[in-house]
Amino acid sequence: MTEEIKHALLRVVPFLIIPLVMGIAIRRKRFTAQDMGIASPISYQKFFLWWGLFLLFTILTEVALFRLGVLEVSPWNHGLPSSVIRLLGIIVLAPVAEELLFRGLFLHKLIQWKLNKHWAVLIQALVFVLLHSFTYQNTLSSNIGIAQGFIDACIYAYARLNTKSIYTSMAMHSTGNFIAVLEQFIL
């Protein structure tokens, strides 16, 4: 196994562990699947509306940042086996794990503690961004990335609450990550 594959696996494994641990916690009745929003959306029309508007918002944002010359994208430069692992992690596993953790468990607990839903959305988004900003570099691009992450986390949370389904925010998160990866291949 090459170093590149080991590094890719190390980045992906935590996203396998989170759903596993949450599944065990649900089986042990620490919380329920309904608490997490693990259910079909109350309306597929709402699901597709949230997803479609998010897709449009993301594309327009990325195009605007590109035209303003502030979109910094590193080219994709990984071998095929490592790329497959990384793409699976970025587009599928990370959105599933992060949505279960942030818009499932954490958001539910904040609301359960009688926090106003808007404050709960803001707090979970802030924690989401703080955990994603470990590579903060105090550059315009880094600051834009933090703002985008915060806005995305708020949108994911409102979509999850509005459709009563974690699958909505998972689809949106996966789409956002797909677009970010796609930029590395085409820009």
Could you tell me the residue ranges of all domains in the chain? 3-186
- Model pTM greater than 0.85? yes
Q: What is the pLDDT along the chain (187 residues), one digit of tens a residue?
A: 899 999 999 999 999 999 999 999 999 999 999 999 999 999 999 999 999 999 999 999 999 999 999 998 889 999 999 999 999 999 999 999 999 999 999 999 999 999 999 999 999 999 999 998 766 677 888 889 899 999 999 999 999 999 999 999 999 999 999 999 999 999 7
- How many Cβ atoms sit within 10 Å of the Cβ of residue 87? 18
Backbone angles phi, psi at 28, to 5 degrees: -85, 5
- Between CA 72 and CA 65 the distance in angstroms is 9
Give the sign of the dihedral formed by CA 45, CA 22, CA 155, CA 185: negative
The per-residue pLDDT for 159 is 98
Contact of 37 with 103, CB cutoff 8 Å: yes
